[in-house]
A and B are shown apart, each in its own frame.
Chain A
Amino acid sequence: MKKIVEVKELTKEYKNLKAVNNLSFEVEKGEILGLLGPNGSGKSTTINCILALLNYQKGLIKIFDKPMTPEAYDIKRKIGVIFQDVAVFDELNVYDNIDYFCGLYVSDKQTRKKYVNDAIKLVGLEDFEKFLPKQLSGGLLRRLNIACGIAHKPELIILDEPTVAVDPQSRNNILSGIKKLRDTGATIIYTTHYMEEVEILCDRIIILDKGSVIAQGTIDELKRLAKIEEKVTVEVTDLEEKYVHKISTFKNVESVSYTGTLLLITYKKGKNNLLELMDYLKSEGIKYNKIFSERPSLNDVFLELTGKELRD
């Protein structure tokens, strides 16, 4: 597979802080790479270094096999960026905003017109072309922000937390838009601290913490890093300690905790665990409201590797 982005031993330091520490990774053509990490883990700094917006002390960044510099306009032509903050002109309507930012890459008027219309269609803003940004809802504004970043049909798209403070409906819309972009052949780097998004969207994930890679791979590869294979949650009231103790002695059980009305059991291996537990609860006459089984999430992986939650 062709490498679109190569980052080698990237180190970015501020006065007393190593924001990115010896970071290396590659992005292959057509894949969606997720950069996952809590706030302050170095995701945005990495993106800014890739885009030559920030100087860095050490490392090499190549995009489309060429070193990335502030003057690498031929490379920049093929990159589209969507930042967390909406960056549009309040004074221009939806169409004119997209046309302006597309015009920074595409000078031919006819081509630009087609590209702008394609972008409007992609993000579903056909009915809002003449609207000013202040007339759009938060979700529609985000969609406009995305359209401004991708209208010139870039081969590499970098999305830096595009769904922060977005309502669930708009978030789904944005995520499906990103999938459409991938389907058109674009390579995507997606930074977020929402693990659900990377699970839905990304082919490969890099988990960052304190500027360093703590794990990388496909979702399955990462989940294997967690020591558990299954999590069972039971909503039950007034469960006596002896039952909790008994459950902890079951086969494959890694840990048992009972807080409030929630009984949480994690299993090292994941076969027939739920059935065994339900049989036991029935045999003891313990009544419960809900019981459900889950595969370990990326948060569990993060917890396992760092000892803290992703959203701490």
Chain B
Amino acid sequence: MTVFKAYIKVLLKSKFTILLYTVMLVVFGILNMQMNDTGMNYTSSKADVLIINDDENKGVTKSLIDYISSNSNIIEIENDKEKISDALFYRDVNFIINIPKNFRTDFLEGKNPQIEIQRTNDYPSYLAYNLLSKYIETAGYYLEFINDENQIIKNTEETLKTNTNVEISSKLDNDGLSKAKTFFNFSNYTMLSGCIFIICLLMTVFNNEKISKRTIISSTNYKALNRKLMISNGLFAITLWLIYVILSFIILRKQMLSFHGLLYIINLFVFTLTTLSISFLLGKITNNKEAINGMVNVIALGSSFLCGSFVPIEYLPKFVVNIAHLLPSYWFIISNGKISTLESFNFETLKPILFNMTILIIFIIIFTIISNIITKYKRKIA
């Protein structure tokens, strides 16, 4: 009890640091959730298109222009090469269609006239390209069977008007689960920072060479005392986990009261234990209080950036993601992503998450073994 009492007293000296990381989790977690609103809300979008028509505006040509115009934002730019080039560069326009002279007659004669296009290579430009291709292919199809231009235009326009209703059958609260994912992904940083900072600080205090010497000569078994320290560290990490769980219930009540919520909590628990083993290892390595801040920055910030805690992992370059595989945070964050898209719960669907948790447990075992080797090595030197 003496050790635990002293541990609590030393810990309370750092209460502002713990509070700081908790406030960071709440503030940045909520901010991130609002910024990353990645729910399944669909809105139609139109490309900005410039049409340069060198042909007569009638017949198939007119029909094509009307079709493109009704499905895009038509941009008016002076027919000047430099101005058109600038508009494309500054994304004032996504797609430029240059209809050549005699397009209508050549098309009707089956000469397959080429339409010159310029594009920005982004999503709206693909949209405009699709419109153009769809019209030419449909009209071309009718040209094979019908000779009358008006009939071709009529059939083409009717075909292109046909719509299909798409129904999304998912019952998932995608928006809410995505917010929960963002919250738990951000907890990667605060959990790592909080645990590493506090546990390393306490370890340096209790493992101070002079204090250790006094402890070794006392009638308290040194191994038992180390065990008590480990248990105290474990209790601290679990308390931090509990605080984060309570916070998640306050912020994301609906999502947390589901099986998804339970999985998020279990995943965070396994990651908390991994963080504890990392912190314990680092605490064994360092005896310098000044070095702790540096370690927090390198490990917590570094792995949070590399593993997609701040920026979704999909946006990270491939080589960064490859490196991230070596870090526990990656497996924690990947699991959060998988939990947010789980439609049903059975062994098959949970297998990838259980696999990631197993990898985290392997990390715990590795870090604990290294810590024990270091402890034995240090004891030998003494």
Contact = CB atoms under 8 A, between A and B. Distances in A.
Q: How many A residues are at the interface, by size bracket?
A: 20 to 34
B10 A76 contact: no
B113 to A, nearest CB: 84
Interface in A80-115: 81, 83, 85-92, 96, 99-101, 103-105, 107
B258 to A, nearest CB: 43
Given A53-B382, A91-B205, A92-B6, A104 B211 contact: no
A16 to B, nearest CB: 19
Interface stretch (B89-97, B216-224, B275-283): B216-224
Given A104-B219, A104-B220, A83 B13 contact: no
Contacts of B3: 103
A91 B10 CA distance: 6
A289 B213 CA distance: 52
B6 A87 contact: no
A206 B215 CA distance: 28
Contact of A105 (B5, B220, B221): B220
B9 interface: yes
Contacts of A96: 6, 9
A150 interface: no
Looking at A52, A79, A104, A149, which has the most chain B CB atoms within 10 Å of its CB? A104
B220 A87 contact: no
A148 interface: yes
Contacts of B9: 91-92, 96
Nearest to A74: B219
A73 interface: yes
A182 interface: no
B162 interface: no
A206 to B, nearest CB: 21
A81 B205 contact: no
A101 B382 contact: no
B2 A104 contact: yes
Contacts of B10: 89, 91-92
A257 B24 CA distance: 77
B212 to A, nearest CB: 9
B214 interface: yes
A73 B221 contact: yes
Contacts of A76: 217-219
A51 interface: yes
A77 interface: yes
Contact of B2 (A83, A87, A88, A99): A99
B2 A100 contact: yes
Interface residues of B, number: 23
A206 B5 CA distance: 42
A89 B211 contact: yes
A89 B205 contact: yes
Nearest to A149: B214
By secondary structure, the A interface counts as: loop
B210 interface: yes
Interface string B1-36: 111011001100100000000000000000000000
Nearest to A96: B9
Nearest to A100: B6
Contacts of A85: 210
B213 A83 contact: yes
B221 A148 contact: no
Contact of B13 (A73, A81, A91): A91
Nearest to A73: B219
A84 to B, nearest CB: 10
B213 A104 contact: no
Contact of B211 (A74, A87, A149): A87
Contacts of B2: 99-100, 103-104, 107
Contact of B218 (A86, A89, A92, A101): A101
A53 B217 contact: yes
A83 B205 contact: no
A81 B211 CA distance: 12
Looking at A74, A87, A96, which has the most chain B CB atoms within 10 Å of its CB? A87
Interface string A59-72: 00000000000100
Given A83-B214, A86-B210, A91-B205, A105 B6 contact: no
A92 B1 CA distance: 16
Contacts of A74: 219
Nearest to A84: B210
A228 to B, nearest CB: 42
B219 A148 contact: no
Given A89-B205, A91-B13, A92-B6, A53 B211 contact: no
A53 B205 contact: no
A89 B205 CA distance: 7
Looking at A52, A85, A91, A103, which has the most chain B CB atoms within 10 Å of its CB? A91
A198 to B, nearest CB: 23
B55 to A, nearest CB: 85
A148 B213 CA distance: 13
A87 B217 contact: no
A115 to B, nearest CB: 13
A93 to B, nearest CB: 9
Given A77-B219, A103-B2, A87 B214 contact: yes
A14 to B, nearest CB: 13
19 contacts: A51-B217, A86-B210, A87-B208, A87-B214, A88-B211, A89-B6, A89-B10, A89-B205, A89-B211, A91-B9, A92-B6, A92-B9, A101-B214, A103-B2, A103-B3, A104-B215, A104-B218, A104-B219, A107-B2
Closest 6 CB pairs of A and B: A103-B2, A87-B210, A104-B218, A77-B219, A76-B219, A104-B220
Given A74-B219, A96-B6, A99-B2, 20 more contacts: A53-B213, A53-B217, A53-B382, A76-B218, A76-B219, A77-B219, A83-B210, A89-B6, A89-B10, A91-B10, A91-B205, A100-B2, A100-B6, A103-B1, A103-B2, A103-B3, A104-B214, A104-B220, A105-B218, A107-B1
Interface of B: 1-3, 5-6, 9-10, 13, 205, 208, 210-211, 213-221, 225, 382
